Chains A and B, each alone.
Chain A
């Protein structure tokens, strides 16, 4: 015979029904929920007011790319094309030439931001620390073609955020 039909079990079921009936009148579950609210009311807040407030970033954050210069203003990039070779998304296109001073220079350095997966391999591969991924992650495109970061654009970003990039590089240097 099924046990649920024993006398004890029938008693338990009746008691549970009575308890629930009383809890309904006392708004028990409401108070239970409000206690969570009350507890969190006194906790410190984790919400930030973006864009006025921002979360902290790692010095290794991989955002928008930049091309760097040496302190004397000379471009670092020597068009060795190692970043182009290592790029898993084939986002980088480089053309090289002999510069006026006889050195090797990139005549074209394009990164397609639609292709880029921000893996940072280009930065790893660069023998002269020319291409870097900066902390900048807030950017947008309005017209077709703006997704191509040309050499001039990349150098401009590098010039603008030179201090930040130098600081980040210095912070990371001891782990390399």
Chain B
């Protein structure tokens, strides 16, 4: 290693740098700042803005720091008169065509060009000719364009080429006429594409929903966690007078690097939807009336007291916080209600006892890049967990072999070594045949009929190649009508090939729900339940005495919900939104806060627990979910419900987890009864939830609903 370290001198101070490092990377470790526009540590080097020119001893010209590798004994001057003259000259050229509309530009106050112009710009322009004007483009409902402001750093172009792979933007023409364009009139649709808003050093590409609504300096920055997928991307929320104005990524190399998905960025719009439930409501004579919190809680408590335990159920969204799951299960345990669940869209529960204690990805998100082989089974991984999709793409570019087994063919912007489309189960059986594994005895007849194709052989070759492979089961597999068959076969394949089996679960906190025992067959920390309660299907297809819906909307979140039967139960809905479906089914609605208005903890798919605090003022009279549950618990006269904060709940959870014996339930899908699985080769067994429909906040995020992605799925969507 010592050979790789070389000595260089920056502004008279000698520092150590790695061989092959660029000057800018070396100077960034010191206090010497080199101004830059086109350089970005996550993107390739373009060296086309020329702002980072520095003086290097014995060089006849100033050199771009971002594209010049360091060499032994190099003497670099970043602040010498020669270097500053070069930087100032570059700045003058950049400002020739840049409009002076900083007061109306949303980038104003956080603009790299503005900042650097303060240091390197001239007070007065010497340029007297006409300025260039470029027509703005409509590239969709998420990103606004003011292309006259563009300084052609090409960060957005390189982002499209290198990070997403969808080359939406490019440069056309040359010199004075050069512009960033989509070639043909189109919107940019990739699920990560709004990151170009953060990348753009000027105000050319900006946040459309946020447009003109606040200034960067007046907002308060709060740390928070993304609430829509099992990745748990780290976010900053920018809040003005108690209202979330925008969401930007918070750098975390272990999870989301510097990117976030469009879904996480724009979902905040749902918080301020017109559909928000503003105060508790009760249905009297088929009419909704507003009531006070006190009366509403008394009403709920009376209903809970009078209820028949066997015929009542709690259903919670997998996006609820760990604290909410804990209080819900505590409440259900104290009331002896066994019918609790969070797996709202799951259909097949036959093998639920074999599930792992917590369904996890089986590796750290950052380690996806290091995998040798990844086979994604039953998953539109790009849509389900965009950050995992991005990591898989990075892995593919680095040489990992990627296989996909899915019903339909999705577009992936990287090389897929083998793609098996069509019936997932049929393909898994074919693969098992090639691998020489024995099919479950119930399926052997069918298995014999399946002739292995070339693709099956390729897929088997991938799994059999050297190094540990990973099988990832996505939402489509988990929500499949014969999910247990898929799990059995996948487990067999994993066993045969020595691969790891992982899950990409629905919602942001499915792991937390499993850990808290928000399941009919398991208790806290995976403890097995004596009496197995009803699962989601059984709860929603039949009429019950009482159904408590915690942010689970009948129809949308609960596709199996029978409005004729379950709709006639006494339904207590704790929900941020008062949609028609809630109004049709519920009897009491209690307004709870969305992810921005509550504090709590999410556990992501790598078992990383991340806590976040309240970032925005509550809308209307809504209250954080945990507070509502806590109030109900105390009013029911239950002991140990006197929590003062969500941290207090978390403390109790961690204490209980410490006291619990480590029950490490390994997934065990080898001994399954598959006799009921007769029609598993039918094609239409997957249940696809569109990307921007997965939870209630997203369904109310107006800009996301205008995207081509949402419109496309709307066309397919049938109620």
Contact = CB atoms under 8 A, between A and B. Distances in A.
Contacts of B218: 81, 84-85
Nearest to A84: B218
B454 to A, nearest CB: 55
Nearest to A105: B212
B212 A104 contact: yes
Contacts of B215: 80-81, 85
A103 B104 CA distance: 9
Given A80-B103, A96-B213, 15 more contacts: A78-B103, A78-B104, A79-B212, A81-B218, A82-B103, A85-B215, A85-B217, A85-B218, A96-B212, A96-B214, A98-B211, A98-B212, A104-B104, A105-B212, A128-B103
B108 interface: yes
Contacts of B104: 78, 80, 103-104
A97 B103 contact: no
Contacts of B212: 79, 96-98, 104-105
Contacts of A105: 212
Interface of B: 103-104, 108, 211-215, 217-218
A88 interface: no
Contacts of A80: 103-104, 108, 215
Interface string A98-110: 1000011100000
22 contacts: A78-B103, A79-B212, A80-B103, A80-B104, A80-B108, A80-B215, A81-B215, A81-B218, A82-B103, A84-B218, A85-B217, A85-B218, A96-B212, A96-B213, A96-B214, A97-B212, A98-B212, A103-B104, A104-B104, A105-B212, A127-B103, A128-B103
A78 B101 CA distance: 11
Interface in A149-165: none
3 A-B pairs closest in CB distance: A80-B103, A104-B212, A104-B104
A21 B451 CA distance: 143
Interface residues on A, range: 10 to 19
A27 B117 CA distance: 79
A37 B433 CA distance: 125
B256 to A, nearest CB: 30
Contacts of A78: 103-104
A91 to B, nearest CB: 15
**Which of B212, B214, B217, B218 has its CB near the most chain A CB atoms (within 10 A)?**
B212
A78 B212 CA distance: 10
A96 B214 CA distance: 7
Contacts of A103: 104
A82 B218 CA distance: 11
Nearest to A126: B103
B217 to A, nearest CB: 6
Nearest to B104: A104
Interface in A120-170: 127-128
Contacts of B214: 96
A149 to B, nearest CB: 19
Contacts of B213: 96-97
Nearest to A98: B212
Interface in A61-113: 78-82, 84-85, 96-98, 103-105
